Every structure is written in C-alpha cells, then in structure tokens.
Structure 1
C-alpha cells in the first residue's frame, strides 16, 4: 500500500484547501515571538503617532513623556492580554492533539462553536477525536473477537512476520506443536516449523511438523499488520474426514455385496439341503452307495460353506450398524477391572494409575477394549509359542493429558507387521481372523471424538496401543 504524500502549511499562510501542496518552512522564529514583535511594532508606531500629536498640541515634554509612558504600559498590558487570548486556545488545542497522537481520545475542547476560526478548529478537532475514539473502540472489539475465535478454534493457527519470526499462535497450535507464548518473536527455524513457510496454499503436508501426527492440510494467506506484511497459516487435520469417507464407502460396498451374496447363498443352502434329503440312505449297489456318500459329503460342504459365508457377511455388516453412542459417567478403575477380569488367554495386569470419572459409552468401549486385549493376547501367545517361553502379562494403564484420557495397552507379542493396513477392512494376518476387530474399535473410539494409535515398542518387543478420548 502506497503511503500518502505529506503536505505542510504555514500557520500564518493563506487559507489552505485539500489538494493544495504546502512548501518547506525556512523560518526559525516561533509563532508566539512573531506575534509579540508584531504587537510591539504596532505599539511603537502608535506611541510615535501620539507623541507627534501631543507635540503639535504644544504640550510640554515632561507631560508628553509621562503620557507616552502610561500609554506604553497600557499597551503592553492590553497586548499581553490579547496575546494570552490568542495563544491559550492554541496551547489547549496542542494538548488535545498531543493526547490524540498518544491514542488518548477522551479529551475534548470546551466552548467549541461554529462561526469563528478558532471555534471551527476546536469543533473539527473534537469531531476528529470522537471519530478516532470510535475507530479505536471498533478495532479493539474486532481484535478481541478475532482473539476469542482463534482461542476457541481446534485448528492450529499461526502468524509469521515478513522475516519469518513467529508473530501469533493460538491455543490449539501451542498444544499441538508444543509452543509457548514466549516463543513469539523467534524464527521459524529455531522452532522447527520452517516447513509451514515453504509449502503452498491448500497443500497436503508430506511430513507433519513437530508434535503432529496424521494427515494435515495447510492453508495460508497474507495480510498486513502495522504496515508490515504477515503470513497467516492454518493447519487442518483431514485424516479423520478421510477415514469417515472411507468408512462410508466400505459400508455402501458391504451393503451391496451382502445383499447380492445373501440372495445367492439362500437358494444354494436350500437346494443343497433338499438334495441331501432326496438321496436314498441305503442302496443295493455298492457303487451307488459310494456315489451317494460322495454326493452327501459334497452337499454337506456346500451347505456348511454357505452357512459360514453367511455368518462372515453378518459380521461385516456390523460395520454399517454401529449403535448410537450412549455416554455415561464411568469410573475408569472399576471399568478396567471389569474388562481385565475376563478370560483373555493371557494374564492382564493394571498398572497403578489415577482413578477418575470419564464420560464414555461403557458397552461400546468395553467391546473395543475386549478386541484390543484379544489381539494382544493372541500376539503374546504366538511369540511365547515361537520362543518356547512363558507368556508375559499384558499391561493396561491410563493417564490424564490435559482434558483427555489416554489409555495404553502394552503387550509382549510379535509387534505390528504392517502399520499401513491396520484399519483396512478385510485385511488380517491371522488365519482365523475376519479383519473387522480393529476397524470396529477405531469406529468406537472416533465416535467418542478420540483417536487410536498402534506402534511397536521402542525396545523391539511387543506393541503399544494408545487410545485418546475426551475425559
């Protein structure tokens, strides 16, 4: 934005109108001193005229001297009073303008009225002060609104100055990126967030910055603050939205496949059963007996596989029929003791953790915990069988992180083999697995507005499952 050209006008110049350009002042005598000199010159001329007039009238010199001295003193008094009446309003206006320059718009000039030059000036200064006061109030309210909006946003928002220094960071950004208000003014490189300045607008970040995980979209725009160019950066977590779209797509696919396959399975199972009933249980020919036995066996396999496939499809249909969430205040310790008391095939221990009340759906969360403990037990048993050693107990613990409850399950199994396919429907590494346990668990956790993460333990033994839900 181009700055307006500055114009200057002398206080004692001809009346100035907007659009006219002033000239540079070359005078070094102050306005007040010039006024005193003008009044002194006028007084000297008047005294000279009076002295000449008195001499013409034939008045003696002593009387003329006394008269001129008296008139001079009177003139000085009147001139000083007149100068005071001229300068005092100017000093008052100066004080008001100085307050305006200091952004204190509460001062007003008393007695401002239209009809004379000083009154018009005072009136305009009062109007200017009122206008600036209203603008300041509006700007303060707008800034407070922006601060309130930014503080309540769940998306991280940051602002950087033109030199790359951090200028503003909201609460969500401080929490997600581990920043502090004292970091304002530090360079992006020092805070390890320089990637936010390098990417273009609406870019899917290939590598999230410090403290973040998942998939993030970067939005950026430029703005000016106090005449300097700034860059506003907002991060949006799109992983949950993508997972929701993926889940809905799988649900539609499962509904279509389930409907079509069930329409075919029902008659296949019915025909296989009918054919078995029509076979003669006993025949005279040995060959016929062998043939019928083979037919019965084949039909029984067809009927069993049709029934198994039907149960398989019914299990997948659970993905599209998750019950409505029913949150209740639940004591975490009692809830965990109830879940771990079930027979999981491997001992489950609760690590000493702080007891607290969480607002969760106990039925759905219990099913999610059972799925996770079942997976942990199977992985632990597989490792113990492979190594020929006793199975180590599964550890369950929880902690409070801000407003969230973090639940961790630690097993000593073989760990995660393929992290990218953990929550993909139909994917399983177990011979008898269905591939829906972890996916259902993820749906339950996300229904609680939470997240779930699986990672191999840093020691290389076992896996850690972390569930984070609002407490």
Structure 2
C-alpha cells in the first residue's frame, strides 16, 4: 500500500514538474513575443492538453517570424527606394532635429556626411540663400531661384504623429531638368509641325521650278533663268534649314561605348586648337563618342568665335562627384566677351541666338545630347572675363 502511494506521489511530482517546465517555457516565449523576438520554440510534451497549447504557440511563433521577415524585407526595399531617390527627403522632430535623411539630402546639405541628430538650421547656411529662406518659411509648391543658373524647385511638407510625437516631413525636388524636358518636348512638337508644313509646300514648289525650266527651255531670257535659280536656291536653303531643326527634333538615343580621353582630345585639336589644363582621367569615358565629340566641337567653335585670344581657349577634363554620383567634368574656358545674365538664362533654349546668322540650335542640341546621357551642362561667368561651359557626364558603374 505504501509503495502504491509513493509511486502515485512520484507520478504526480513528474507531471507537476513537466507542467511547470512547459508553463515556464510558454511564459519565456510570451515574454520574447513582447520584446518582438519570435525565435523561441517550445518542445512538445506527452500530455495532449498541454501539447495542444504548445503546438498553437509554436504555430503562432512561426507565423509571426514569417510576417516579421516579410516586413523587414519591405522595410529594406522601401529604404533602398528612398536612398536611391534623387529627391531630397528629411524627417524632422518637433524641434527641427533630423531623425532620418536619404542620400540625396546628405550630399545636398553636408557633402554626403551623416546629418542625423543635427538641427536643420545648422545646415541651411550650406545651401543657396533663397532656397534657405524658402525652407525656413512655410512655402510650398514650385519656385525659381533668381541666380545666374536658373533653377526651379518644388517644396512639399507634411506633419504627422509617430509614437505619439509630432514629426515633420520635408521633400525637395529639383524641377529644372524636368521642366526643361517638358519645354524641349514642346519645342520639338512645334518643329515637327513646322517642318511637315514647310516640306509639304517645298515639294510642289521644287516640282514647279523643274516643270517651268522644261517648258521654257527654248526661252533664252536671262531674267527668267535668274528667277528660276533664285527660287531653287531659296528652296534648297529652306530644305537645309528644316533638316537642321529636324535633327534636333529627332535626336537618336546615345550608343555608349568606352572612349579613350587622349584619342578624343587629339581628334578635337585637329578641328579647333585649345590648351589642355591638367592631366586626363585615368579611367575611360563611357558615352556616345560621335555625339559627345559633336558637343565639344560646338563648344570649342563658340569659344573661338567669342572674341577670345585663340591661345587662351582651354579645356579641363577631371573626375568629379555630383550629388553622390561619380562622373567626369569637362570645362571649356575662353576669355571672350562672355554673356550677360539675361542672355545666359536664354542661351540653352531652342531658336535663341545672339549671332546674326545663327539658328539658335547649337547649345540646345548640346544640352539635349548631354541630358540624354543623364548628364548636365551649365554656363558660368569667369572671374575676370570670358565664359566657362561645364559638361558633367556620369561614369559607367561597372567601370
């Protein structure tokens, strides 16, 4: 009898110990859940009732692990998108301290250095004063900076609660390139329409001139020949005029390849003389050789026609970084008469020219080619006299 009692007490003791261990394991697992840790798995036991509870716990942990992993992947993707965005993004607390920033913001405000924890006011002296004033104010929407290089920006703001604390979102978008693209698209459409109408008129005029020559071939009048020659010459001139504008409206996409800088500069020097400043980049360029050569020839031609001493036309090619992107800067300098601020603002627009016989397509075609390469072109006054035209081209990431 005593043996049976001892055995019963032993069985009860084991049961209580297993139950206690299982409950303790479940308690630890739930505490881990509270700390956002779903890696704990409770081992199964013999008792079916407790084992069912443990199975439910383990299934819940597995589901939460999958959801956490899914959310983590989504967060990584979102962060990657935000960091890759060219738009400047800042998340600020109620005291204007920076909680979060993307790569574009760090390069724009602080040359790529970390800015989290800094106050926005500390960074504003590093940027254009007009843009700084716009950020300080409550201004939203598109506005233009009144500087030599006309720049358009869009500011948007948002306020929301995060963890019961007030936060502010500031977004800056550089609109200059986008607005320029829209403007160029409109010009291209106008050019295509004009070209189409002129071609439709020129074709029958040319045909009538040929017919007129045949009908009057027995007439030796010099005045009649002069009339036909004049009409034919003007038709040919208009055809060439249309061809030049159509080339701007139908510029092909760049066919990029690796280009040796030494060979390129030697080819350019065969057409227009210039002095090369500094050493050439060690890495090869990556662009459409024909199109970029056309751009640089046009810039050198303008420099020679600027009134500059030919010996003072210079070119500098150097590796550089813009907004965190590696690239190459090509600068053409002259000491000519330069441009007024008003002319400089219009110089990259189609049809605008200060030359009596100019078509107004030289610099706009250069800009179209450079932007098709995802680069930038800008004009700058030199300190004493003359002009600098700067071209920036991105490097091939795999180079």
Fold shared per TM-score above 0.5: yes
- The residue that corresponds to 1:248 in the other structure is 185
Q: Alpha-carbon deviation of 1:191?
A: 1.5
Report matched runs for 1:217-256 at 5 Å: 217-222=154-159, 224-256=161-193
- The residue that corresponds to 2:317 in the other structure is 398
Equivalent of 1:149 in 81, 88, 109: 81
Q: Alpha-carbon deviation of 1:429?
A: 0.6
TM-score, scaled to structure 1: 0.64
- The residue that corresponds to 2:6 in the other structure is none
- 1:157–1:232 Cα contact (<8 Å) kept: yes
Supply the distance in 1 between the matched residues of 2:152 and 2:381 (Cα, whole angstroms). 20
- Name the structure with the higher strand share: 2
Supply the distance in 2 between the matched residues of 1:277 and 1:367 (Cα, whole angstroms). 48
Supply the distance in 2 between the matched residues of 1:264 and 1:301 (Cα, whole angstroms). 16
For this pair of structures, how many residues does the alignment match? 364
Supply the distance in 1 between the matched residues of 2:252 and 2:41 (Cα, whole angstroms). 67
- The residue that corresponds to 1:56 in the other structure is none
**1:182 counterpart SS class:** coil
- The residue that corresponds to 1:139 in the other structure is 71
Distance 1:112 1:155, change over 3 A: farther
- The residue that corresponds to 1:360 in the other structure is 287
Distance 1:213 1:120, change over 3 A: farther
Supply the distance in 2 between the matched residues of 1:90 and 1:469 (Cα, whole angstroms). 66
- The residue that corresponds to 1:13 in the other structure is none
TM-score, scaled to structure 2: 0.75
Q: Alpha-carbon deviation of 1:218?
A: 3.6
Equivalent of 1:379 in 306, 315, 331: 306
Gaps of 5+ in 1: 1-77, 282-291, 382-389
Report matched runs for 1:53-452 at 5 Å: 95-110=28-43, 133-178=65-110, 180=112, 182-192=114-124, 195-196=134-135, 198-199=137-138, 203-207=141-145, 214-222=151-159, 224-265=161-202, 267=205, 270=209, 278=219, 280=221, 304-342=233-271, 344=272, 347-353=273-279, 354-381=281-308, 390-402=309-321, 403-417=326-340, 418-452=343-377
Distance 1:392 1:104, change over 3 A: same
**Structure with larger RCO (C-alpha < 8 A, sep 6+):** 2
Supply the distance in 2 between the matched residues of 1:195 and 1:112 (Cα, whole angstroms). 67
**2:298 counterpart SS class:** helix
List per-residue Cα deviations over 1:117-143 (Å, max 9, x = no partner).
x98987777676556545543432332
- The residue that corresponds to 2:5 in the other structure is none
Supply the distance in 2 between the matched residues of 1:106 and 1:176 (Cα, whole angstroms). 41
List per-residue Cα deviations over 1:422-443 (Å, max 9, x = no partner).
1222211112222111111111
- 1:348–1:395 Cα contact (<8 Å) kept: yes
The structure whose Rg is larger is 1
Q: Alpha-carbon deviation of 1:451?
A: 1.2
**1:446 counterpart SS class:** helix
**1:186 counterpart SS class:** coil
Supply the distance in 2 between the matched residues of 1:466 and 1:136 (Cα, whole angstroms). 49
Supply the distance in 2 between the matched residues of 1:181 and 1:97 (Cα, whole angstroms). 41
**1:106 counterpart SS class:** coil
Gaps of 5+ in 2: 1-9, 125-131
**1:183 counterpart SS class:** coil
